[in-house]
Every structure is written in C-alpha cells, then in structure tokens.
Structure 1
Amino acid sequence: MLSVTPIPALSDNYIWLLRQDTSPEACVVDPGEAAPVIHVLEREGLTLGSILVTHHHPDHVGGLAELIRRYSPKVIGPHNPKIEGIDERVGDGDTCRVMGRRFDVFDVPGHTLDHIAFFTPGIPPLLFCGDTLFSGGCGRLFEGSPEQMFRSLQRLAALPDDTLIFAAHEYTLANLTFAQAVDPHNSDVTAALDETRRARDLDRPTLPSRLGREKAINPFLRCAAPDVRASASQHGNTESDQATFATLRAWKDRF
C-alpha cells in the first residue's frame, strides 16, 4: 500500500514523500531543498530510490543535486535540458513506474511551459500537480498563456472526483480568501475556509485535497458558474469560460 506524507520545505513548499510499508525505498516529488528530505529519510530508515519533478523552478529542483550525490536515485522529469540530473525525460502520454505503481504523465503548461503532472490510478487515484492546481486556486502564469492554463486545468478536472490532489504549496488559506470574494454565496467555500483556518491555526497541512471538493470551491474550476462569472464580469471579459478564467487569474494576481 502506497502512503504519501508531506515534508515541509522552504517557506511554504511541500515535498511529497511516497513510501510502502513493505519496502524501505521511498520517492519524493519536487525536492526544492535537500536537508528536510535527508532528515526524514534518516529518521525513518528509508532509502531514496526515485524522484519525480514537475517543472524547473528552483523551489522544486533546488535539492536535486545534493540528493543525487547522496542517494543516486532515478530522476524522472520533463523534457527541459535546463534541469540537470534527469535520467528519464517524460511528456504527455508517457508512463513511468515508481515503486511498482504506474504513473501517467500529462503536459500541463501554464505556470511554466515545461510543467507536467503525474497521475496514478488506484483507490483513491493520486495526482501530483506541482504548481498547476492548488486547493482553491491555480498557479501564476510565469511562462504560459491563460489559454494554456485553462486547458490544463480542464484536463485535470476531467479526472475522477475522488482523485487526491497533492499540490506543492500551502496556499489554501489565501486561495480560499480570494474564492470567497469571487463566490461569496457559496456555502462550500465558506465551510472550506473555516476548516482551513482551523487547520492552519494548528499548523496542520490543508493538503491533499480531493478533486470533487475542488470543483465545488475552486473558482478556477468554476468558470461556467453564474455567480463566478457575474463577479468576474466586474473585472474584465467573461464572454466565455476561457475568458472568465483569464479575468479571474488577472484579478487574483492583484488581489
């Protein structure tokens, strides 16, 4: 059985640790720094067999070099030569195997052009989506276009509703504060915001989230909802779902 736990890193990153009860081998996703990973591996008596990388930003690959030197793991990541140390470069439609599990690879450009996500079916399915989809939000558009990010999010939204979303940052409180401004009459958003505040007051992670829940609370997955479109119309073009998304993303950037 595969278990996934967060390793807090930097100011608000989560490096996801995958392990199985029957093996000391572990995998980590997006190691922005090495020290927290090394600490957990040594404390738990684990060895690092593999690393998954979603994109090239330093807070996702900053620990790669040291972890490679120390453990010689297999590194799987996008077709971006700027990321040094990748053994298996993967893109849309590819599959890879990690600790006996099949992972499907999706191209999800928007936050960056090289961004990929890793999805493994199961009960429940698991999605490691880096900075594309957050609980209550989505990533900023540093390289890609609103159109690209909208399509990427729509693709992720088509996954099963019980999919667990393992995003790479603890942004939920800020995201849901914005979601409430966009969708103030949404009782699901209000309840999620209250729950998030209680969790953060106790320094507990708000992730993973569940895709079905995100469809109810995340404005970037709700561009067709009349209340969301009405709020967005005060800030820009809402002639289509895609235009509404672009308006919401620009509004969030200055929120």
Structure 2
Amino acid sequence: MTSQAAAAHAATTEDFSHNLAAVRQRINAAAASVGRDPSTVRLLPVTKTIPAERLRLAIAAGVDTLGENKVQEALAKHEEFKADYPHLRYAVIGPLQTNKAKFVAQFADEFHALDSLKLAETLQRRLEAEDRRLEVFIQVNTSGEESKSGIQASEAAALLEAIEPLDRLIPVGLMTMAANTTDEASIRASFRLLRGTLEELQAAGAPAQFTQLSMGMSGDFELAIQEGATVVRVGQGIFGARQYPTTA
C-alpha cells in the first residue's frame, strides 16, 4: 500500500487546503485500517525549498509547523515569519553539524536527527545560552544503508541514557527513514525495527514523554502509520513535486 508521493502543484490557498485534506484523509484511512485512532498521528509538513510566498498560502490553509532539512533555510524562514505568524513551530529534520547547533538553539521547537552525545552536549550548551528547551528525536538507521544518517538500533539505549542529564533536551522519541526501495516488506521492516526499539526503551524505563515515532514520508507514510508512526513527514504530498534551482 505504498502511495503516490507527489500531489498536484499547489499555487493557491484553496489548492493547499485540498492537498492537506487529501493527506489527512489518507492518514485517517491508514490508521483506521489497523484500528488506530487517527488523532494519534501528527502531520509534519516538510517545507524545504518552498519559497516564502507559497508558504504564506499554505499557512493560511492550516499549516502550523515547518519541517526543514537545512537549519539555515529554517532559520531564514523563522526570521521571515516570526512577526506575522508567532504560532508557527519549526522542526529541523535533517542531519546537523555541531557548528550549526547554535542556530537550532535559537528558534527550533523540534529536532528529529539526534545521532551522537557530542551533538547533544553542544545543543545543551547552546540552549542554556538561549534559555530555551528543545524536543529531540534520536535518529536510528533502520535500513542499513550507508547513505542514511543515524545510530544503530542497539546503540539507542546508551544514547538515551547519556542525554538524560541534559535538561535542555526533551527526548520524545525515535526517528528513521525507511529503506530506499519499492519493496513493501523492506519498508515495513524498517518501521517495525524502530517501533520495536521504542518498545524496548519504554520497557527499560525511558522517560514518560518518550512515546513518539517519526517515520514515513510522502511515498510511504501509510505503511508507517500501519506500523505505528505518530509523526509523518510529508512534503510533496502537500506542495507537489519539488522545484530545485537549476545550475549552469
């Protein structure tokens, strides 16, 4: 039950309302197919490469969180929108170098790619300086692909324990990207490994708020929901096919 990744290109608030409603309908159907309450699944719009003028239309249609892979692009959008849309949340969902942790600490509400104690400690220091806190997801490489970031599932318990003293970080769950394949069994295996890892950590005494599974994107979020996702990261399903700048 893999899904069509990209929606029609959205150019008006009405287009965005239509696309958002279509994605939410699919979320509801996927949840219902395994007896889950659809309200337990949060849609995280992925807004990378989307310019501000289009995002304003999407916000008018109901987008309330911006998910960005690159922290500097996310920071620029925060600066653009903070006066007009103070309610917006910002989620950094891509890998982060320690030298850019200072930017995340300034504005982000969520970070979905925590993969080392060094990065966690750097974020802690930066968040102390900003007097802020940050929800974090530990990223796990569940596919075995070298192109993907994240720690091994077997390392998650040690990292979660190591960041416990870092009081500016709020560990809320795990994140993964499924195997890059059209094979549904392989995709489900990635998601099941993440869910199993979460269950093991909870059984071992993880913090009470450590309940979230950030997994599933435009092409596979329905499978992710069936395997337990609580956050699905959807870009092209809302905005349409991404348009990258051309290079000479």
TM-score by length of 1: 0.31
Higher RCO (C-alpha under 8 Å, 6+ residues apart):
2
Higher helix content, 1 or 2? 2
Higher strand content, 1 or 2? 1
TM-score by length of 2: 0.31
